[in-house]
Amino acid sequence: MGAFPASPVATAALDRGAFAPPRSRQPVAIVDLGSNSARVVVIERPVPGILETIAEERRDLRLATELDERSRLSERGIATTIDAVAEFAAFAREAGAGAINVVATAAIRSAENREELLARVHAELGIAIEVLDGAEEAQFAAMGALHGLPIRSGVVVDVGGGSTEVARVLAGSIVGAWSFPLGALGASAAWLTDDPPTRKQLKAMRRMVARTLAERAPGGLGPGEQLIATGGSARTLARLAQRQAGYPLPLLHGYLLERSALRRVSSFLAGHSAAERCEIDGVRAGRADSIVGGAVILEEMMRHLGADRLTIAAGGVREGVAMRAFGEAVPQPRMVRAASVEAFLRSGGLWDEEGMEARAGLADQLSPEAIDDPFSELLEAARLAAMLRTLGEARGGEAPGARTTAALLAADLAGFDHAMLARIAAILHDSDGDKEGAKPYLALLPTSEEPALRRYGALLR
């Protein structure tokens, strides 16, 4: 495992980012003023360990393009930022937020006149903007990404519009956080000047990114470590890869993006102009001119770390800041899954403590070898499937397992990777006697798991 260089900045970020006691049980709003887009999310915590977004809004501010040659934010950039904060604050209050947390990242962080912007926002709106340094941004991105994933160790990368943040996590604790000026929007504007970019320009950008990572990024992944990616560029690329592959799960969160698939999507996008990319389903107009640069950075990060695949995280900086607001630390993934299922069933008025305990106990009857390992993922999947099936049963009619699967995948519960979702979906379809319906999910799993999953499904009929 490659060692991180000593980083007093990262250490300071960890100290400053220490989680405070919970300040409010009300929903909180997080306004994220990024280099490309700005977003507000209103998040509540129905039970400890669970964060739920109840409202969100976005604006493409493209602040990275509003910085002049002296790194000063233009008057238009300042004005549009003030307008966005005012609009987002009103939106958040309407959604019931008890507190509004505004954070700014690379573009505002690097602006020579950022104090002017902060002063005007405070004077006109009475709102303070917290400017995150690079290490703090990396830390919050890592906390938010890992909150909803069953991953405890690895490297989290967030390719933003104006910078790229990286954090290394061991056993659920951040041990280093770094930032470097490789942003999808900024690098695309500087290196990919033709539209579409030429092969020469793409090669030059790759060399620049590779050199920057070799000099400043952490070393390769160690045994048991995984690469996790968050941010709009990574999610857009993963969405396109899913559609090319005809992937059976309609979820980005937890998706495993293979390096070869990323390379195919990157090559496809690079062969089209920005205007043509806007017409591709899944590519927003505000990202069309930066997505190729984002793909190059992500590809080179995978090569540098020696990663053949990465896991897509839906959460990031905003969720990390919300965790701080609630005093929430990263819980064990198994606890998040259990809390997610409980909150999901409670929201439908279906949670009964004794009944759920009895349902979960059904799985124990069939698998004495799994009981020897109380942390068996197959056994956990069977227990959760048994509890979740109450949703389909309560709606009446045939195929309660299939109806439950549809509701489960639409809910996109926290803490689940795609393998666990596939296990549960296979069990639920088999519980209807629908062996064909289970096949697409079984195809995502090792063939050695199929006999046990089939038996668990039959047990629930």
Within a domain: 230: yes
In this structure, the answer to whether residues 341 and 283 fall within a common structural domain is no
Q: What is the rounded end-to-end Cα distance, in angstroms, of the chain?
A: 48
Within a domain: 11: no
How does DSSP assign 72-115, residue by residue?
Answer: PBPHHHHHHHHHHHHHHHHHHHHTT-SEEEEEE-HHHHH-TTHH
Q: Domain end: 326, 357, 380, which one?
A: 326
Q: What pLDDT sits at residue 7? A: 33
Q: What pLDDT sits at residue 317? A: 95
How confident is the model over 239-267, as pLDDT tens digits?
999 998 888 888 899 999 999 999 999 99
- Burial status of residue 98 (CB atoms within 10 A of its CB: 0-12, 13-18, 19 or more): middle
> Domain with 63 in it: what CATH number?
3.30.420.40
Within a domain: 378: yes
In this structure, the answer to whether residues 261 and 166 fall within a common structural domain is yes
Q: Which residues of 146-185 are buried (b: 16+ CB within 10 A; e: fewer)?
A: bbbbbbbbbbbbbbbbbbbbbbbbeeeebbbbbbbebbbb
Within a domain: 284: yes
In this structure, the answer to whether residues 124 and 146 fall within a common structural domain is no
In this structure, the answer to whether residues 110 and 152 fall within a common structural domain is no
In this structure, the answer to whether residues 111 and 204 fall within a common structural domain is no
In this structure, the answer to whether residues 434 and 381 fall within a common structural domain is yes
Q: Rounded to an integer, what distance in angstroms lies between the CA atom of residue 287 and that of residue 183?
A: 12
Distant-in-sequence, close-in-space partners of 412: CB < 8 Å, separation ≥ 6? 251, 253, 314
In this structure, the answer to whether residues 163 and 107 fall within a common structural domain is no
Within a domain: 370: yes
Q: What pLDDT sits at residue 54? A: 93
- Burial status of residue 398 (CB atoms within 10 A of its CB: 0-12, 13-18, 19 or more): exposed
Within a domain: 10: no
Within a domain: 6: no
In this structure, the answer to whether residues 200 and 266 fall within a common structural domain is yes
Q: Are 220 and 305 in contact (CB under 8 A)?
A: yes
CA separation, residue 321 to residues 151, 279, 415 (Å): 19, 34, 18
Q: What pLDDT sits at residue 367? A: 57
- Which residues of the chain register pLDDT less than 70? 1-25, 366-375
Domain membership of residue 126 as a residue range: 21-133+321-326
Q: What pLDDT sits at residue 374? A: 53
CB-side neighbour CA atoms (13 Å) of 308: 0
In this structure, the answer to whether residues 154 and 286 fall within a common structural domain is yes
Q: What pLDDT sits at residue 2? A: 33
How does DSSP assign 180-194, residue by residue?
Answer: ES--HHHHHHHH--S
Q: Domain end: 300, 326, 352, which one?
A: 326
Q: Rounded to an integer, what distance in angstroms lies between the CA atom of residue 451 and that of residue 454?
A: 5
Q: What pLDDT sits at residue 373? A: 56
Parallel, antiparallel, or unpaired for β 256-258 and 309-312? antiparallel
Domain count, the chain: 3
> Domain with 201 in it: what CATH number?
3.30.420.150
Bridge partner list, 59:
38
In this structure, the answer to whether residues 144 and 292 fall within a common structural domain is yes
In this structure, the answer to whether residues 179 and 230 fall within a common structural domain is yes
Q: Domain end: 301, 326, 351, which one?
A: 326
Within a domain: 5: no
CA-only gyration radius of the chain, Å? 23
In this structure, the answer to whether residues 277 and 139 fall within a common structural domain is yes
Sheet with 154-159: list strands edge to edge: 173-180, 164-170, 154-159, 226-230, 309-312, 256-258
